Amino acid sequence: MDYFAHPTAVIDENCTIGKGTRIWHFSHIMSHSTIGENCNIGQNVVVSPGVILGNNIKVQNNVSVYTGVICEDDVFLGPSMVFTNVFNPRSAVSRKEEYRKTIVRKGASIGANATIVCGYEIGEYAFIGAGAVITKPVPAYALMVGNPAKQTGWMSKNGHKLNFNNEGIAFCPETNEKYILKDKMVTAAL
């Protein structure tokens, strides 16, 4: 076993867990889920069947990652944030055939107590503020806050708000990496 699992964690058969991953107290990794290398799965986390978590993902305490969710590498899932997988759930109506896919792209961060309504893509390095409710696709590098969430700016790969000049150029205050805003989309300059 190339990963660590706390004795109270439940690891079902037929799941894949990468080298260096740590799974903490009372978490449940269900069969047919995939967790990459060097991930940290906090306390009281559920990873449902069919979920794919890339490498170096941090899932904080009390998060349920439901069937239909795919997280690329370097994603941060804050404490008690919520994914849904059915758009209009009802207790008396089975809608397992209606699970909608949610994709969280590389480097995105989702803050504590945020809710991600199923069926949307969160762009790479996007930053979802604490308590935000996502009800539509999120562009790469976007900063989203509120309920329903609205875009209030752009973030660098290192999680700093970008301030664009009149030419659509901004620099990360930590790394000095250059970003370009064009046609309502941000890209990192190569």
Side by side, the strands of the sheet bearing 16-17 are 16-17, 34-35, 52-53, 69-71, 102-104, 121-122
What pLDDT was estimated at residue 15? Answer: 96
**101: Cβ contacts below 8 Å, ≥ 6 apart:** 68, 69, 70, 118, 119
Show Cβ contacts of residue 100 under 8 Å, excluding neighbours closer than 6 positions: 68, 85, 86, 87, 118, 119
Q: Percent of the chain at pLDDT above 70? A: 100
Spatial distance between the Cα atoms of 39 and 59, rounded to a whole number of angstroms: 8
> Among the residues of the chain, which ranges form H helices?
none
Paired residues of 103 in beta bridges:
70, 121
Ordered by where they begin, the domains of the chain are 4-90+98-163 (2.160.10.10)
Q: What is the pLDDT of residues 27-70, one digit of tens each?
A: 999 999 999 999 999 999 999 999 999 999 999 999 999 999 99
pLDDT reading at 5 higher than 90: yes
Q: Is 163 exposed, middle or buried (0-12, 13-18, 19+ CB in 10 A)?
A: exposed
Q: Using the predicted structure, report yes or no on whether residue 148 has a pLDDT greater than 90.
A: yes
pLDDT of residue 1: 81
Predicted local distance difference test score (pLDDT) of residue 95: 87
The four Cα atoms 170, 174, 71, 86 give a dihedral, to 10 degrees, of -60
pLDDT at res. 149? 98
Residue 121 tokens, joined: 């893509």
